[in-house]
Amino acid sequence: MTHQATSPLPVVVLISGSGSNLQAIIDAAQRQEIDIEIKAVISNRPAVAGLERAQRAGIETYVVDHTQFADRRSFDTALAQVIDRHQPGLVILAGFMRILTQEFVEHYLGRMLNIHPSLLPNFQGLNTHQRAIDAGVSEHGVSVHFVTPELDGGPVVRRASVPVLPNDSADTLAARVLKQEHRIYPEAVGLFAAGRLKLQDNVAQLDGQPIAQLPRTAE
């Protein structure tokens, strides 16, 4: 289903926790650097800081608490109902810590982005900073990608790399990566809102040109 680019592009943001990426996107929208309107922020966990960030910005918030559902499928169905009420042209996963069903992902294919703290396709999954340190890589980073049924596997639309320093801990490395997250996520959302980013046959394109993907190297 293709969605005509509208201005501002209505978006829904899904969170699970602090919402620092949400905040970066709110700030970029308020500075009119990106042409979106955040119609709703939905958390799968109650009382997280990200909900307060949204409320402070006057954005509607919802909690769809995954512990209240018997299985993944019924949670995803309830979540999609809340999302679709707002008819978003883009769904943004921002620190959203749920594995989504294939059906849910396919419903939003081509209009759902996620941010993952590694240079994909390396270090998919959790604890990426400690794994990068343990693997002895000299470079780490963050990737914004289209969400496809492969967990953390969708084509990357924007990435940023940071050095891994000899005395880095997972926390110091995570903090260096997070700064880059807050820079590139608003950029990626802005490009999508401008109609410049597309997912075509599982290839991410910027202005009609395929975006180069990294080879799998580490681990």
Active site residue 116: yes
- DSSP string of 124-153, one letter each residue: -SS-HHHHHHHHT-SEEEEEEEE--SSTT-
Supply the minimum distance, in Å, between the C-beta of residue 39 and ligand GRF: 18
**Residue from 12, 13, 14, 21 in contact with ligand GRF (CB under 6 A):** 21
- The residues in 169-208 that bind ligand GRF, with binding defined as CB under 6 A, are 178, 181
Instruction: By CB under 6 A, tell whether 76 contacts ligand GRF.
Output: no
What are the angstrom distances between the C-alpha of 146 and each of 25, 37, 71, 216? 17, 20, 25, 18
The CA radius of gyration of the chain, in Å to the nearest whole number, is: 17
Supply the minimum distance, in Å, between the C-beta of residue 140 and ligand GRF: 12
Residue 37's φ and ψ, nearest 5 degrees, are -125, 120
Instruction: By CB under 6 A, tell whether 18 contacts ligand GRF.
Output: yes
- Nearest-angstrom CA–CA distance, 2 and 5: 9
Measured from the CB atom, the residue of 61 and 77 that comes closer to ligand GRF is: 61
Question: Using CB under 6 A as the criterion, what x/- string covers residues 103-122 for binding ligand GRF?
Answer: ------------x-x-----
Q: Which of 3, 86, 107, 116 is catalytic?
A: 116
| Cα–chain center distance at 165 | 26
Output the CA angle 173-177-179, nearest 5 degrees.
Answer: 125
Applying CB under 6 A, the residues found at the interface with ligand GRF are 15, 17-22, 50, 94-95, 115, 117, 178, 181
